[in-house]
Amino acid sequence: METNGQSRDVYALVTARIIEQLQKGTIPWRKPWAEAGPPQNLISKRLYRGINIWLLATLGYANNLFITYNQLTQIGGKVKKGEKGHMVVFWKVLNKAKEDNEESTVETKRMSVLRYYWVFNIEQCDNLESFLIESPEKFNPLLIPCEKVVDEMPNAPKIQFKEPEAYYHPGKDYVNMPKLKTFINSEAYYATLFHELVHSTGYKSRLDRKEVQSMTPFGSDIYSTEEIIAELGTCYLTSITGIAPITFENNAAYIQGWIERLQNNPSVIIYASTQAQKATDYILNVKPEESDEESSVELSEIGEK
């Protein structure tokens, strides 16, 4: 626990953790799967809240169960040699005395101060076997309209489930997905899969999109544009399959973040929406002439020539 004599800046520590994760390409609040479960205390079963959720969830443990050092010693456990604790922050309310010289009175002022303490994941500890209970397996059903889109995508990339991460590998042309049962619901699973499939349309044997072929690093303008394309395409596909009301709010917030990264350049969103439409047409096996014909009908309906 931090004492009054210490001057470490909690905000700086938290910010450093955020920057560290973003530099790795990790956007934890955009992960709708939870194979490790939500971060919680092993003994009290209390779920961690606020920023602590992803401070702990991004550490990569198989189970997001944590324990304080005091709790660990009380139950006879111990920290494995070489393991270090992880920071958890909280607000502590302090009563501060304030003197009024004119009236010779003392007032008590309540103030909140940000503090932190350290916790350890169960993988970092020994002698915890009696406190570990297996969680019941979760079941998420297949959604037929979504399965139809995935199954009927022409020249589709291989979809594998080897890692608890969602990504498209442009060099080897495959999509890796966490397992369906690890997502908060089926809709989140398919929205995530659609996102990666849109990325895959940029492969050289499909639409040969420069944003995918360039293999630029995380955070660059080209990378950011590709993320907007993928998320717009996801919005189109979730709307077509009927799961948009559940997923669109997160999509919109994510898109806005990448647009801000590109300094709100209006041309980017126009370009990205065009590419997203092409990607969606490809996944749905809609031919270019079919798409053009539909556009002309829509123009005639609103009186355009």
**Cα separation of 132 and 43, whole Å?**
10
Residues 26, 165 within the same domain: no
Structure-token pair, residue 141: 């059903």
* Angle CA 230–234–236, to nearest 5: 120
Q: 5 pLDDT exceeds 70?
A: no
**Cα separation of 173 and 195, whole Å?**
15
Q: What is the pLDDT of residue 84?
A: 93
Q: By residue range, what is the domain housing residue 289?
A: 144-300
Q: 201 pLDDT exceeds 60?
A: yes
Q: Residue 68's beta-bridge partner residues?
A: 119
Q: 51 pLDDT exceeds 60?
A: yes
Q: What is the pLDDT of residue 62?
A: 76
Q: Residue 66's beta-bridge partner residues?
A: 41, 121
Residues 127, 149 within the same domain: no
More confident residue, 2 or 288: 288
pTM over 0.85: no
Q: 198 pLDDT exceeds 80?
A: yes
Residues 103, 161 within the same domain: no
In a domain, 137, yes or no: no
In a domain, 151, yes or no: yes
Residues 157, 296 within the same domain: yes
**CB atoms near residue 38 (< 10 Å):** 13
Q: How many domains does the chain have?
A: 2
At 284, the pLDDT band (50, 70, 90 cuts) reads: very high
**Cα separation of 140 and 147, whole Å?**
13
What digits encode the pLDDT tens for the residues 15-27?
566 556 655 655 5
- Final residue of a structural domain among 76, 96, 131: 131
In a domain, 2, yes or no: no
In a domain, 305, yes or no: no
- Final residue of a structural domain among 131, 162, 190: 131
Residues 75, 162 within the same domain: no
Q: 4 pLDDT exceeds 60?
A: no
Residues 184, 209 within the same domain: yes
Q: 283 pLDDT exceeds 90?
A: yes
Residues 197, 262 within the same domain: yes
Residues 123, 174 within the same domain: no
Q: 294 pLDDT exceeds 80?
A: no
Determine the distance from the C-alpha atom of residue 282 to the mean position of all C-alpha atoms in its chain, rounded to a whole number.
26
* Angle CA 293–297–301, to nearest 5: 170
Q: What is the pLDDT of residue 225?
A: 85
Q: 271 pLDDT exceeds 80?
A: yes
In a domain, 4, yes or no: no
Q: What is the pLDDT of residue 205?
A: 96
Q: Taking the CA of residue 82 as centre, how many other CA atoms within 13 Å lie in the half-sphere pointing to its CB?
A: 0
Residue from 217, 141, 157 nearest 193 by CA: 157
Q: 100 pLDDT exceeds 50?
A: yes
Instruction: Provide φ and ψ at 145, rounded to 5°.
Output: -60, -35
